[in-house]
Amino acid sequence: MRHYRGVSLRFLKRQRLLTVLTVIAIALSVALVSVLAILSDALKQSQIIQAETLLGQQHVHFKGLTPEQLETLRADGRIQRMGFSKVVGSTDIPDENFPINLEEQNIDAIELLGFQLLQGRYPTAANEIMLDEQSLGYLGVSFTEDTQITLPVAINLMQEDGSFTPAGIEEKLFTLTGVAKNHPATVGGRYGVGCVGPGSFPELPSRVGAFVRFTSGVDPVQAEEDLAAKLHLAEWQVDENSRLLSALGYEGRESEASGIGGLGFSGIIVGGLILLAACLVIYNIFQVSVVQRTRQFGTLRAIGATPAQIRKLVVLEALLLCAFGIPLGLLLGILSSRGVVSSVGSLINPEVLGVSSLDEAVEVVRGSVRIPWRQLAGAAGLGLAATLLSAWLPARMASRVPPVTAITGLVGSGVTRTRPSRRRRPARHILWQTARLNLSRNRGRTAVTVISLTMMVITYVTLQSFLQSFNMTEILADSMDSAYSLTTLEGLTDQDLAAVRAMPGVERVRTAMEAAQPYDIDAHKAAELQTDEASQAYSVEHTFEAIGYDDATLQLMLDEVGSSAPTLQQMREQPLALVWDKEVNYRFSPQWAPPAIGESLPFLEHSFQIAGTVDNIAIHRYATQLGYTLLMHEDQLRKLLPAAAVNYADIFLNPSITSEQDQKIHQMLEQIASNTAGCTLSTFEDTKADLEKSLNAIKGLGYGMILLVSLIGSLNIINTTVTSLHARRSELGTLRAIGMSSAQLNGMVILESLQYGLRALLFGLPLGMICSALVMSSNDQVESWQPPIGPLFMASLFALLLCLLAAWPPVASMKKMNIVESIGRVD
């Protein structure tokens, strides 16, 4: 036993089928873990990159710092980089209602905030300025080096409590040094940004803001809390970059749900299940291999091998298999990672990554793919540990084979105590009973095979029912019932809407307008609220907005309210309103509840009686505002605000519209969007294409998971059937010798395989139905859940067919088996 490697290699070469099956199982498990590791790393990196792009690289923004506090920050060794800024004020462009917010910032602050310089350079001296693209467009200025522009700046002075006091308007001459790329938030919020050089406004207070990024290895949340306590800062003075902290894995004061953590948790569960299935396959293969070579192990024991040496022999076989399977699995994982990452990227809400479309989300995630060698090393280690763990029990069994086994040739013999049956029954269905007893002879191997097939059935039923729950027609009807949509903050003119309605091919136009009641910040301060929770609850109770709808849209909402709803005519003529029962209010004020029917709410010094509550507002907005949202007829809103204009318009087309008419409508809407400030045109086809991509990605991942689990289950049943028959050649030859025909022998083998499938279905079908109901409940479709008859039938058919196919190789080999040779065969 000096050369274990040579003995192990000879064993593996002789058992080529077992060797190939084991390498495949190891490679599949390592490939899966590798893909999950690469996917997790790519998602995390994409979140970090997008958080830094959208909100900056700083971990925290300290506001209103005195010179003494600033010096304390400079001396802190945990800070890697720090930028400084002062709020200056704003400048308004006449007749455009487009403000440009101005701040004094040094280069560190500009770079930490993520400004992308398109032309020129950053401002470094007094009276130098950098503007974004849209601000230059509204100003009508094209960039050239050292361009001079004069802006009327409304200066705001920061007070000790963080509020700002107007300090008049100053005409200021600036030198334009650079142009920055537009930021999605400023485009959506319809405002511009300008960075002026330090010292441009010496009359500003000495208080400054500091954008702080901590060094690598420092807990930014803990460092932020330490500095806030050390500097005695109020809560309003600490503004953490919650999205970046969340992407880095830290939980700050205002942690955001990433929208990806659920994917990671699901990946861990699925990966764990498939890794468990792979372990079952590996264990089963080694267990069968040990049983098949019992005489060989007994012979080794008889010539002096110790139990430790036998265990070492089996473990060395596992290591040799890992030497082939693990690199193959890592290679498969790396090659398939980009496709999997792209599919998962299309499942993520684009807003989580700060982009506006699924294509952009996919590109962001794909661009973040790298080879995380540390995680891949962990995947290799996990595969190695799983293989060694799976081989350990068979190794112990091999080490306990007595030497007498090699001499007597009686494998697995022993004294068996039997209890006489109290009832004597005639033997019926002898082949079925023989097959059942054969499965009972090795309960461990039978249990492993049945568990593997059961997992395959559960996965198939669960994923199939989940995929079938995605009804494209219902999704389109609920969220994309119009062909085009126009959204603008400034409002659409009646002339434009009339022109759209008059276009051939337009069936109808659905409109909505919105208005907000100014928030009384003085009353909020006078309330002297002591905690953030109390301040947020106060904001919810004292914030009001209203949305006015046309007849058709409001009627749909009244239908949702039910029989207690007023008529459309009453909503048009009386001060009645519905209220939106929105989730965001509960998060910031757990005690909040929508007003009851019959109560009154104030809006713009008028009182509106509540006629019901609804769960949606039939329009899509960039953000949801806290507080009460009153939904009323547009005539009621125009009584309050005669100048109110339509902010949302959904255009419905006739089913018989021609492509030429559709093209003309699209051109008109594009022209309206370009001529209306801050207007966005959304098309049905683009959204439908994005949705189809997302659904196809879900189905692709689901069917891929079904295929992977089915492959592992197939390996197990094929391995069990083939190796079991191979190990029982002498027994089968004896049965042939005492008179069992070839047809009976083949029937017994087929029935053995079918019993594996039937036992798996006995457990897998009920568990699959339970998992299907759980998945549907998590998808908010538990009320519409029905037993997945189709998936249950297909799972049963597939499992039984797989068992029959697994019985075909041993049946074919038994036809060539010579009775005399099989009885005397020694492996």
Tens of pLDDT, residues 188-204: 556 889 999 998 988 88
What distance in Å separates the CA atoms of residue 512 and residue 616, rounded to the nearest whole number? Answer: 13
- Tell me the pLDDT band of 598, cut-offs 50, 70 and 90: very high
509 CB-near residues (< 8 Å, 6+ apart): 497, 500, 501, 649, 650, 651, 652
Which of 631, 487, 496, 506 has the alpha carbon at shortest distance from 558?
631
Residue 90: left (phi > 0), alpha (psi -120 to 50), or beta? beta
- Tell me the pLDDT band of 166, cut-offs 50, 70 and 90: confident
What distance in Å separates the CA atoms of residue 254 and residue 545, rounded to the nearest whole number? Answer: 25
Q: Which is more confident, 708 or 603?
A: 603
- Helices and strands per DSSP (H, E), number in the chain: 30, 19
**Tokens encoding 165:** 């006091």
Q: What are phi and psi of 88, to 5 degrees?
A: -95, -55
What distance in Å separates the CA atoms of residue 82 and residue 67, rounded to the nearest whole number? Answer: 14
> By the 8 A CB rule, do 286 and 390 touch?
yes
Q: Give the pLDDT of residue 608.
A: 95
> By the 8 A CB rule, do 513 and 491 touch?
yes
Please state, rounded to an integer, the average pLDDT across all residues of the chain: 78
Q: Give the pLDDT of residue 702.
A: 63
Question: Nearest 5°: CA angle at 463, between 462 and 466?
Answer: 90
Mean pLDDT of 465-487: 58
Which of 296, 492, 486 has the alpha carbon at shortest distance from 406?
296
What distance in Å separates the CA atoms of residue 593 and residue 342, rounded to the nearest whole number? Answer: 41
For residue 480, the 8-state DSSP code is -
Q: Which is more confident, 637 or 619?
A: 637
C-alpha distances (whole Å) from 47 to each of 40, 244, 345, 354, 368 are 11, 8, 11, 9, 9
Residue 468 amino acid letter: Q
C-alpha distances (whole Å) from 769 to each of 269, 460, 495, 711, 765 are 18, 11, 57, 22, 6
**Tokens encoding 223:** 């460092």
**Tokens encoding 786:** 């029905």
Q: In what order do the strands lie in the sheet with 600-603?
A: 600-603, 606-614, 576-580, 628-633, 544-549, 506-516, 646-653, 484-492, 680-683
Give CA 53 to chain center in angstroms.
Answer: 20
What distance in Å separates the CA atoms of residue 33 and residue 378, rounded to the nearest whole number? Answer: 9
122: helix, strand or coil: coil
Each residue's pLDDT tens digit, 776-794? 665 545 555 677 787 788 8
Q: Is the pLDDT of residue 214 over 90?
A: yes
Of all residues in the chain, what percent carry a pLDDT higher than 90?
17
What distance in Å separates the CA atoms of residue 688 and residue 643, rounded to the nearest whole number? Answer: 35
What distance in Å separates the CA atoms of residue 450 and residue 721, rounded to the nearest whole number? Answer: 12
Q: Give the pLDDT of residue 79.
A: 92
What distance in Å separates the CA atoms of residue 661 and residue 313, rounded to the nearest whole number? Answer: 78
Q: Is the pLDDT of residue 222 over 60?
A: yes
- Tell me the pLDDT band of 163, cut-offs 50, 70 and 90: confident
Q: What are phi and psi of 750, to 5 degrees?
A: -65, -40
Residue 234: how many CA atoms within 13 Å on its side-chain side? 12
Q: Which is more confident, 326 or 250?
A: 326
CB burial string 87-97: b at 16+ within 10 A, e below: bbbbbebeeee
What distance in Å separates the CA atoms of residue 272 and residue 375, rounded to the nearest whole number? Answer: 16
Q: Which is more confident, 508 or 732?
A: 508
